[in-house]
């Protein structure tokens, strides 16, 4: 089995910073894509940032210049450094990955359970 576990959420004041981590574990052959989504109360889940292995990185317009996604492929981990946080960044942040499990010939999408980020004074 493959699972994703997020950490690093919490309460932060406007203008502050947080760093989220997401570690993939289990019978993993390779990870093609890792990214972060978020869902605010009453809103749909939206892409925050995504990283294709050896390829491009993309960000939502609302976080460009403030958030940075990075990966440690040796640790099967993706990070989201969030700076200059705003109240509208408050949401549950979910890790998403496309993983080829050991013994499999195709990738599957996996989700973490989410970590809450609250930006408030």
**Which pair of structure tokens corresponds to residue 64?**
């460009």
**Which pair of structure tokens corresponds to residue 62?**
């609302």
Looking at every residue in the chain, the average pLDDT score rounds to 96
DSSP state of 73: G
DSSP state of 114: -
Residue 120: helix, strand or coil by DSSP? coil
pLDDT value of position 54 = 80
Give the residue from 23, 29, 13, 31 showing the smallest Cα distance to 109: 31
**Which pair of structure tokens corresponds to residue 120?**
């408030």
pLDDT in tens, 9-43: 999 999 999 999 999 999 999 999 999 999 999 99
pLDDT in tens, 97-120: 999 999 998 999 999 999 999 999
Name the one residue in this structure whose structure tokens are 């996996």: 110
């Amino acid at each position: 089995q493959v699972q994703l576990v997020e950490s690093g959420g919490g309460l932060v004041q406007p203008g502050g910073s947080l760093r989220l981590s997401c570690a993939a574990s289990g019978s993993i052959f390779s990870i093609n894509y890792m990214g972060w989504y978020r869902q605010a109360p009453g809103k749909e889940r939206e892409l925050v940032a995504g990283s294709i292995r050896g390829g491009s990185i993309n960000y939502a317009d609302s976080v460009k210049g403030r958030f940075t996604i990075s990966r440690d492929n040796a640790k099967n981990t993706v990070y989201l450094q969030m700076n200059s946080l705003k109240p509208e960044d408050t949401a549950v942040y979910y890790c998403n990955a496309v993983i080829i499990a050991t013994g499999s010939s195709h990738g599957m999408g996996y989700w973490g359970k989410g970590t809450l980020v609250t930006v408030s004074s």
